[in-house]
Copies of this chain bind each other. A is one copy, B any other.
């Protein structure tokens, strides 16, 4: 390789860099906790490198890079501290917009998993990065983690490489609307409990921390458990896409904590209907979560979306929303059904494929346009 002697190192703190996604911006190096978290720069020069520190125990992180809004790369990140070149050989005078993003969800099951950004190296100069005109926050499960958007149809392994933000309804919607976005999602989790009845695997419990579902001392030090400063980033809309795993729980056996013996189970009656006490605690979880979201996002339009993996809990979710609205008088919270995934649109691991994400993004984008733009 011919060395470019004009390239110089720029620590992250000295770069004009916009950081997207919930993180602790006081950290150096900076962690990209959630899927869709990213660093964005506008930079002149012929080449740009990013200085990374990566580790994991079992589930390796993946990352991707967009240049001038176009998808260019997607790769498994090797462990260690190293530089990756993001572009080279480009017209040095032009400003290039570069977004280096985390493809993989925050991994509650791998305490060592992290992507840390130390800085950049370039022969160009950084330029300001303007904000987008809208801000969207998405809260979801494996669907929002993009599970199934990569990989062959027959794949059933639950591994990092089949999850993405590069083919993901939340990001497609944000791009179509010209919006910045935060994603908070975890595969298998619900609003009350996980797909297997584990009552700890719900998004509400960690919603008010920066990335509260991560464990371990490393993540602690990286600021994952710091209270999230909602005032720092008020979204125009909060899109919840939860309920799919809560529906699954009704069809799974009891969950028991091997350590404590604690157990939890959602039951069906013998006629196949939900046991009332169980569906009611699901509804209460929806109502409670809406209150938390509203408390922290007083002006946001809240949209509870549902349906990409089945419509089973449509009516309990809407009942909860109706009761929440009646109780609080909050008329700025609605329900939107997203089209179910079909044989034509399914991806790997029986999850929504890219076509299903595109279809859902179409319906959601059209809806949000009526709210945000009054069209």
Binding site for B on A (CB under 8 A): 1-2, 55-60, 62, 67-76, 78-79, 82-91, 112, 150-152, 154-157, 159-161, 271-273, 307, 311, 314-315, 318-319, 321-322, 325, 331, 334-337, 339-340, 342, 348, 362-363, 366-367, 370
Q: Are A335 and B314 in contact (CB under 8 A)?
A: yes
Q: Are A160 and B334 in contact (CB under 8 A)?
A: no
Q: Which residues of B contact A67 (CB under 8 A)?
A: 151-152, 161
Q: Are B74 and A1 in contact (CB under 8 A)?
A: no
Q: Which residues of B contact A150 (CB under 8 A)?
A: 70-72
Q: Are B2 and A58 in contact (CB under 8 A)?
A: yes
Q: Which residues of B contact A74 (CB under 8 A)?
A: 72-75
Per the bound structure, the CA–CA distance linking A334 and B310 in Å amounts to 13
Q: Which residues of B contact A78 (CB under 8 A)?
A: 82-85
Which residue of B is nearest A151, CB measured? B70
Q: Which residues of B contact A367 (CB under 8 A)?
A: 311, 340
Per the bound structure, the CA–CA distance linking A70 and B311 in Å amounts to 29
Task: Name 12 extra pairs, CB < 8 A, besides A68-B152, A70-B152, A73-B75.
Answer: A1-B56, A2-B58, A59-B89, A70-B150, A70-B155, A72-B150, A89-B159, A90-B159, A314-B336, A315-B325, A315-B335, A336-B337
Q: Which residues of B contact A75 (CB under 8 A)?
A: 73-75
Which residue of B is nearest A341, CB measured? B366
Per the bound structure, the CA–CA distance linking A148 and B112 in Å amounts to 39
Q: Tell me whether A68 and B311 are in contact in the complex, defined as CB-CB below 8 angstroms, given that A1-B56, A56-B1, A335-B318 are known contacts.
A: no
Per the bound structure, the CA–CA distance linking A275 and B151 in Å amounts to 51
Per the bound structure, the CA–CA distance linking A161 and B75 in Å amounts to 14
Q: Tell me whether A87 and B161 are in contact in the complex, defined as CB-CB below 8 angstroms, given that A315-B334, A335-B314, A339-B339 are known contacts.
A: yes
What's the nearest-Cβ distance from chain B to residue A21, in Å? Answer: 22
Q: Are B273 and A331 in contact (CB under 8 A)?
A: yes
Per the bound structure, the CA–CA distance linking A283 and B72 in Å amounts to 39
Which residue of B is nearest A322, CB measured? B319
Which residue of B is nearest A318, CB measured? B318
Q: Are B340 and A314 in contact (CB under 8 A)?
A: no
Per the bound structure, the CA–CA distance linking A26 and B114 in Å amounts to 42
What's the nearest-Cβ distance from chain B to residue A284, in Å? Answer: 15
Q: Which residues of B contact A335 (CB under 8 A)?
A: 314-315, 318
For the complex of A and B, the 4 pairs showing the least CB-CB separation, nearest first, are A337-B337, A318-B318, A68-B152, A75-B75
Partner of A58, one of B59, B89, B334: B89
Q: Tell me whether A151 and B72 are in contact in the complex, defined as CB-CB below 8 angstroms, given that A311-B367, A318-B322 are known contacts.
A: yes
Q: Are A340 and B315 in contact (CB under 8 A)?
A: no
Partner of A151, one of B68, B83, B154: B68
Which residue of B is nearest A331, CB measured? B273
Q: Which residues of B contact A336 (CB under 8 A)?
A: 311, 314, 337
Q: Are A340 and B311 in contact (CB under 8 A)?
A: no
A selection of 17 A-B contacts at a CB cut-off of 8 Å is A1-B112, A62-B73, A67-B152, A73-B76, A76-B84, A76-B85, A78-B84, A87-B159, A90-B157, A91-B156, A273-B331, A315-B318, A315-B335, A336-B337, A339-B362, A339-B366, A340-B363
Which residue of B is nearest A156, CB measured? B91
Q: Which residues of B contact A342 (CB under 8 A)?
A: 366
Q: Which residues of B contact A112 (CB under 8 A)?
A: 1
